């Protein structure tokens, strides 16, 4: 069966990880990568950089599937903006899911979301659009995660947790069960969150404390 071709947006480190998942999943053929103009003609893991952001609309007339392959960085704004740009021009944004992840058939995962190697998403969980569920992250039963979130490596989100939009959870962060996290919250690596957070900001430590 002929595989669908897909264009990747962003050629950095996260792109390399997504390429590995796409190759293992074996559903799509990578048509090329979009990055800055200066890198056009170079390669990422053997795949050509075929255009810049200015070329996305033209590429959408040639290719049906696109996927955002840059991380959050210092701000999530560009990921969100790129997602809605792709939606506005009518391309398809699949879920990219590692065959080494476990996603319950009773869970829901939104379009444009990446489920990386070793991730576990248990029954009743709901994950929004354009999220990154990174390597070995645990999304327990009945968790709800909003749109445009990044749950970093080895984070553990326990049962019935509610996470808003644009939330970043650093590596090895731990969420107590049945708490809620408001929109636009950043949780540093190793943060332990024993109770709900209702004020946006940056939190670190055990227990979590607001620093900004």
- Segment 195-199 shows an average pLDDT of 98
Q: Which domains can be identified in the chain, with CATH numbers?
A: 4-88 (3.40.50.20), 96-202 (2.160.10.10)
Dump pLDDT digits (tens) for 100-139: 999 999 999 999 999 999 999 999 999 999 999 999 999 9
Dump pLDDT digits (tens) for 39-52: 999 999 999 999 99
Phi-psi region of 105 (alpha: psi -120 to 50; beta: other; left: phi over 0): alpha
Q: What percent of the chain is modeled with pLDDT above 90?
A: 97
- Check residue 70 and give its pLDDT: 94
Cβ–Cβ contacts within 10 Å for residue 144, how many?
A: 18
Token pair for residue 174? 């731990």
Closest alpha carbon to 17 in 96, 104, 109: 96
Per-residue pLDDT band for 83 (boundaries 50, 70, 90) equals: very high
Largest Cα–Cα distance of the chain, in whole Å?
53
């Amino acid at each position: 069966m002929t595989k669908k071709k897909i264009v990747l947006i962003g050629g950095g480190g996260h792109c390399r990880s997504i390429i590995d998942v796409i190759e293992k999943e074996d559903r799509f053929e990578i048509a090329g990568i979009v990055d800055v103009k200066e890198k056009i003609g170079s390669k990422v893991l053997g795949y050509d950089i075929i255009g810049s952001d200015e070329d996305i609309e033209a590429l959408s007339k040639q290719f049906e599937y696109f996927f955002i392959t840059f991380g959050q960085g210092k701000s999530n704004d560009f990921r969100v903006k790129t997602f809605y740009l792709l939606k506005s021009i009518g391309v398809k944004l699949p879920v990219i899911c590692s065959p080494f992840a476990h996603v319950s058939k009773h869970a829901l995962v939104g379009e444009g979301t990446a489920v990386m190697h070793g991730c576990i998403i248990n029954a009743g969980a709901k994950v929004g659009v354009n999220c990154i569920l990174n390597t070995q992250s645990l999304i327990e039963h009945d968790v709800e995660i909003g749109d445009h979130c990044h749950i970093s490596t080895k984070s553990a989100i326990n049962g019935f947790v509610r996470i808003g939009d644009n939330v970043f959870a650093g590596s090895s962060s731990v969420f107590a069960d049945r708490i809620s996290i408001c929109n636009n919250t950043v949780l540093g690596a190793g943060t332990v969150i024993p109770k709900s957070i209702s004020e946006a900001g940056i939190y670190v430590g055990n227990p979590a404390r607001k620093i900004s």
